[in-house]
Homo-oligomer: A and B are copies of this chain.
């Protein structure tokens, strides 16, 4: 019934010894008589002693904790990336603090300050869709705090980056649609200040060019990653004079919802129109028809980011590393060959 939390000093007092000795016993250092250690350990566990991490971290000048800032925890891609981060961190015995920016620049900045204030040993960041500058990261990197960006990276900054071969895979996906016989391929793009989105769009454009297909502005939809706009731009695409016969969407959610709307309007998939998504969410397998998608290695990216960060924390002054994780095109029925009329 003692509301007071027990400290090392309490244990010392109760045992009539100094706090130095207690500290030695609890932190498993040498220079301690086995019997004394035994007594200390026994009392500590009896009193449910919990070391004060704040005091330890303050004294040690490190927290054994890494900070993670992602746009959204509810987004499956980031949830899986966090899974990868956690897995690697757990094995290395480091703690993880997760913050979400809710796709807001202000929140991202607040999270950043909060984590730095908590003296995390390093940071893993995937920037928000609003973030179009990097001045908030600069002073932190200058301070020597290791930092790794992943997926939504920041090119113009001197830090490690983990990302996928967006250009190549977008090219490959588009080419797949072309080879299946589709010619009027629409593209649902992400925010163009993001490195990823730009690269994906470029991959799409270049694949069209390679096959001498026209690049029509009207076929490129700017979704800004907003799920509440899907219906709007789906209707837009459907009522174009030359309706697209394929859609390459920035993520599976958009693709699935578009597919659903078009199906209800009587279009046959993949005969009338094909769909290709991004992320390879588990539900791709279960929708009708199963959705082809780009397998975006979220878990591996998170794991890679954590690996790089932890080695950078352990070995000072390593130079930034860029690591590219390969994506994979997963073909299902939604991009089955176009019906030849």
Q: Which A residues are within 8 Å of any B CB, using their own CB?
A: 1, 3, 5, 48, 50-55, 57-58, 63, 73-74, 76, 79-80, 82-83, 86, 95, 97-98, 100, 113-114, 116-119, 139, 142-144, 253, 256-257, 259-260, 282-283, 285-288
Contacts and interface: CB of A to CB of B under 8 A. Distances in A.
Contacts of A119: 52-54
A120 to B, nearest CB: 10
B116 A50 contact: yes
A63 to B, nearest CB: 7
Contacts of A257: 286
Contacts of A97: 97
Contact of A54 (B54, B73, B79, B100): B54
Contacts of A1: 142
Contacts of A76: 74, 76
Given A1-B142, A73-B83, A74-B80, A52 B117 contact: yes
A177 B98 CA distance: 42
Copy tally for this chain in the complex stands at 2
A118 B54 contact: yes
Nearest to A74: B79
B143 A3 contact: yes
21 contacts: A3-B143, A3-B144, A5-B143, A51-B117, A52-B58, A53-B114, A53-B118, A53-B119, A54-B54, A54-B58, A54-B63, A54-B119, A55-B58, A58-B58, A74-B80, A79-B79, A86-B100, A97-B97, A259-B286, A283-B283, A287-B287
A144 B1 CA distance: 9
A52 B1 CA distance: 32
Would you list the 4 A-B pairs with minimal beta carbon distance, nearest first? A288-B288, A53-B117, A48-B139, A283-B283
A114 B95 contact: yes
A139 B63 CA distance: 25
A114 B52 CA distance: 10
Contacts of A58: 52, 54-55, 58
Contacts of A63: 54
A76 B253 CA distance: 14
B113 A50 contact: yes
A79 B86 contact: no
A37 B283 CA distance: 57
Nearest to A119: B54
A117 B50 contact: yes
Given A54-B58, A76-B76, A256-B283, 6 more contacts: A3-B143, A52-B58, A86-B100, A260-B285, A283-B286, A286-B287
B256 A286 contact: yes
Contacts of A82: 73
A3 B143 CA distance: 5
Nearest to A283: B283
